[in-house]
Chain A
Amino acid sequence: MGKSRSLLSRTRTRSAWLVLLPMLVTLFVVAAWPLGRTIWFSFTDASLDLMADAQFVGIRNYLEYVKFGDEDGQYYGLLADARWWRSVWNTIYFAVVSVSFETLFGLVIALVLNQQFRGRGLVRAAVLIPWAIPTIVSAKMWAWMMHDQFGILNDMFQRLGLISEPVAWTASPDTAMIAVMIVDIWKTTPFMALLILAGLQMVPQDIYEAAKLDGVPAFRTFRRVTLPLILPAILVAVVFRTLDALRVFDIIYVLTPNTDATRTMSVYARENLFDYDQFAYGSAASTLLFLVIAVITITFIMATRMDLEGKRS
């Protein structure tokens, strides 16, 4: 019996790798290999037309000191590029502010949807709609609503007395980032709300009953009981959204193209790769963005000791 069991388990193991193979090969060709090539290109002089003959040039794309004379010289490369650092800052600023507001609004919406009231199903359906709308479409819709002359947003705000004259939301450097963040917050708050709602629904109802009987004010119950219990769900949602926000591209490309005020790391990288014919330089930017995201992801996995084998479930 023992022998046949082990034979069986060995054939099972072999067939496991066999059925895994197509998926693994696909992921290797679409993910691992291209990533490796991107990193390699970042250390070469590759250009769009000459990829195969790219020569290794060391870290020149990242940093290089060029001597002009005896004492004189200047640093070149990504790490010495003010535009790059501006886009790093833009990305971080965008991610932090957007995700904060999304968490706050998502929490409010989740708390509302967690109540029993008439028409709850309809409200939940309505909340999902921004999530269902393609990012490009959202960006275009808002671009029209934020139009400086004919936009309904300026009209509304003027009627409400919030602004005295029309604002060029997307064109002016002062408001371009705000415009982008409004669209992102509008579009992704539903995702946040759903994840937090899933956390809320796992909180046992009798806790609330007990707190109510003891006369604990609703806000105290929320802070002392609900919030600690849903904090893990919120954290997971925040990490997912942050990783997403750090690679933002579509909204900015459509809503505010070509402004220093909103250029993010992804936009910077693509510009160099395909618009400015600086393929190697753009690859270096892509590589750095990948590193940033990898560090955050690994930290997150370590910190939460993710349950991969399903032992705890």
Chain B
Amino acid sequence: MKTPLWKRLGFYAVVAVIVLQALFPFYYAILTSLEDGQALFDVNYLPAAPDFVNYRTMLTQGVFGRQILNSVFVATVVVIFSLALAVTAAYALSRIQFRGRGLLLLTVLSVSMFPQIAVLSGLFEVIRFFGLFNSLWALVFSYMIFTLPFTVWVLTTFMRNMPVEIEEAAIMDGASSLTIIRRVFLPLMWPAMVTTGLLAFIHAWNEFLFALTFLSTDSQRTVPVAIALISGRSEFEIPWGNIMAASVIVTLPLVALVLVFQRKIVSGLTAGAVKG
């Protein structure tokens, strides 16, 4: 029994609409980023006389290059810290029986439900107390609130599904927890760590509210805030070409990451949600 032609055509029409709506806005951003002057204000569907002047402006004038480095620094350090803290915690939560374990995991998980705005005023005070205002460390520190619960949760589920035998010998030899984590689990954990690390990186790269609040000078800002604050002298002089060039620059690495690690990211996202 073969599917009738109209049904197959209908199916591919739906597929085409799905792909088109997903890709068009980014395509149009790229198109705009390659236009300058008057060309910007004519609606085009296909590139006409592409020009890299917007990219040159963004990367050579002003502090955008510096801001990219800020974002790279924050996201990388966030990934390292949250993985280090989460792997040890996940070991205790998954491999050692002790009272209050379930409640503890529930508490950690509930932190991921916190609206960022609910901790904003308290966190602002803490950050000023530690003298971190307008420092990138303020972001590294505050981003733990969303990367840690998720990372702990996914790594705990991952470790729980490993057989008891792999650490039995080490326990009997009297190896310490840290040794067991480093020697036995770390080499087996790479798949889960790559997934959670990637998601933490993406989250930290995209974060806006804390970055907007805890940093105050242009040269300290991360890219999302930088892009949000690009403005012209008046509403009619907003440099759309520059904004789109900046947008493409910060998005391309992410799109590349997502495409390369597609499977890992999908499994990480669903592990974070569905396994509940």
Report the minimum CB–CB distance from B253 to chain A (whole Å): 10
With contacts A194-B270, A247-B115 taken as known, whether A15 is within 8 angstroms of B29 at the C-beta atoms is no
A134 contacts across to B, CB distance below 8 A: 205-206, 223-224, 250-251, 254
Chain B 118-142 per-residue mask, 1 if CB under 8 angstroms from chain A, else 0: 1111111110100000000000011
A18 contacts across to B, CB distance below 8 A: 177
A23 contacts across to B, CB distance below 8 A: 85-86, 88-89, 108, 148, 152
With contacts A123-B18, A310-B157 taken as known, whether A19 is within 8 angstroms of B120 at the C-beta atoms is no
* Nearest neighbor of A237 in chain B, beta-carbon distance: B273
Report the minimum CB–CB distance from B105 to chain A (whole Å): 5
CB pair A155–B43 under 8 Å, yes or no, is yes
B228 contacts across to A, CB distance below 8 A: 136, 139-140, 253-254
A253 contacts across to B, CB distance below 8 A: 208, 212, 228
Report the minimum CB–CB distance from B206 to chain A (whole Å): 4
Interface residues in A267-307 by Cβ distance below 8 A to B read 269-270, 273-274, 279, 282-283, 286-287, 289-290, 293-294, 297, 301, 304, 306-307
A144 contacts across to B, CB distance below 8 A: 28-29, 32, 240, 243-244
B244 contacts across to A, CB distance below 8 A: 140-141, 144
Interface membership of A132, Cβ < 8 A: yes
Interface membership of A152, Cβ < 8 A: yes
Interface residues in B142-165 by Cβ distance below 8 A to A read 142, 144-145, 148-149, 152, 157, 160-161
Report which residue of A141, A253, A287 has the largest number of chain B beta carbons within 10 angstroms of its beta carbon.
Answer: A141
Interface membership of A112, Cβ < 8 A: yes
Interface membership of A210, Cβ < 8 A: no
CB pair A304–B276 under 8 Å, yes or no, is yes
CB pair A270–B117 under 8 Å, yes or no, is yes
B114 contacts across to A, CB distance below 8 A: 31, 35, 290, 293
Bound CA–CA A278/B20 (angstroms) = 45
Interface residues in B243-272 by Cβ distance below 8 A to A read 243-244, 247, 250-251, 254-255, 257-259, 262, 265-266, 269-270
Bound CA–CA A20/B106 (angstroms) = 14
Interface residues in A115-139 by Cβ distance below 8 A to B read 115, 117, 119, 123-139
Could you jot down 5 A-B contacts, CB within 8 Å? A126-B23, A135-B206, A236-B273, A253-B212, A273-B124
